Structure 1
Amino acid sequence: MTIRLRGHHLLCLLTFVGEGYTPSFTRNYLRIAQRLSAGEAIEIIDGPDDICAPMLGLPEAHCCNENIRDRDNRALAAVADLLGFSLGVGSMLVLDASRLDALRAAFARDSIRAACDECEWSALCTRIAVEGFRGALVDAGASATPRCD
């Protein structure tokens, strides 16, 4: 199987520590973190993805807003530039330990965060990066995976 992700979620997954919009959103994201940590492939898609799924249909969902699509495009460009290959809709990616480390190092340096402008989670993500990503639940090659209670 593959995990279907929109562009900006390539940045969000770097700092996911189990917080989210709703309990169902968080439970879903925890399952995705487990799958990513186990090395499951990512397929880049346009629009709402596997992480967005629990939010679709809720009045507070922003998944289809144009500014979110712009965020996706900025994130994909930054990640592609860092990793040294093209990324777009339909691209496949596996986050091995070296890619995850490179992404987190760049995120901590603030060199791939242009897509994070105006994101309500930005302060939390900054704190997690400053703390060395302690508690982040996506860990490529991890021997233990996050729990889904």
Structure 2
Amino acid sequence: MKKVIRLRYHHGLCLKNFIGEGYSEEFVDHFNEVLEQLPEAEIEWIEDCDTICASCPRRVGDHCSSVIPDKIDKKVRKYLKQGYSWNTMNQTLFSKICKGCEWYPLCKRIRES
């Protein structure tokens, strides 16, 4: 039986641009552990705190103290329901989805390099 990893919708886009910059060592280590498990795991897409959020300082119980992740989750879920692929969202809808996120400038720089 495959391990199930619970991920927020927006983390589907964050995974591609994650380089560990700007995060605590604990968060980076945990994120990298999750990344290593993904190829063999089944993913359950959710809108609350997920496996990656476990070591996030903004986590308060099962919620994030920032409203931005919720907004981005809703956008990603909307585009998935409209039939867009993750690849299409990452390539052509990145700015539309992620603008407003505090990590947007870093992700944009990573994408352009």
Q: Settle same-fold status: TM greater than 0.5.
A: yes
Looking at structure 2, the residues matched to 44 and 6 of structure 1 have their Cα atoms a distance apart, in angstroms, of 6
Matches within 5 A, 1:120-139: 120-131=102-113
Looking at structure 2, the residues matched to 11 and 121 of structure 1 have their Cα atoms a distance apart, in angstroms, of 12
Cα contact 2:5–2:42 (8 A) shared by 1? yes
Looking at structure 1, the residues matched to 35 and 12 of structure 2 have their Cα atoms a distance apart, in angstroms, of 12
Cα contact 2:68–2:101 (8 A) shared by 1? no
Matched position secondary structure for 1:13 = helix
Specify every segment of 5 or more residues in structure 2 that has no aligned partner in the other structure, as ranges. Answer: none
Matched position secondary structure for 1:65 = coil
The structure in which a higher percent of residues are helix is: 2
The structure in which a higher percent of residues are strand is: 2
Matched position secondary structure for 2:49 = coil
Looking at structure 1, the residues matched to 52 and 37 of structure 2 have their Cα atoms a distance apart, in angstroms, of 12
- Note the aligned Cα RMSD (angstroms): 2.1
Query: After the TM superposition, which segments of 4 or more aligned residues of structure 1 sit over 3 Å from their partners?
Result: 64-67
Structure 1's 127 and 66: CA in aligned 2 closer, same or farther, altered over 3 A? closer
Structure 1's 122 and 67: CA in aligned 2 closer, same or farther, altered over 3 A? closer
Looking at structure 2, the residues matched to 82 and 121 of structure 1 have their Cα atoms a distance apart, in angstroms, of 23
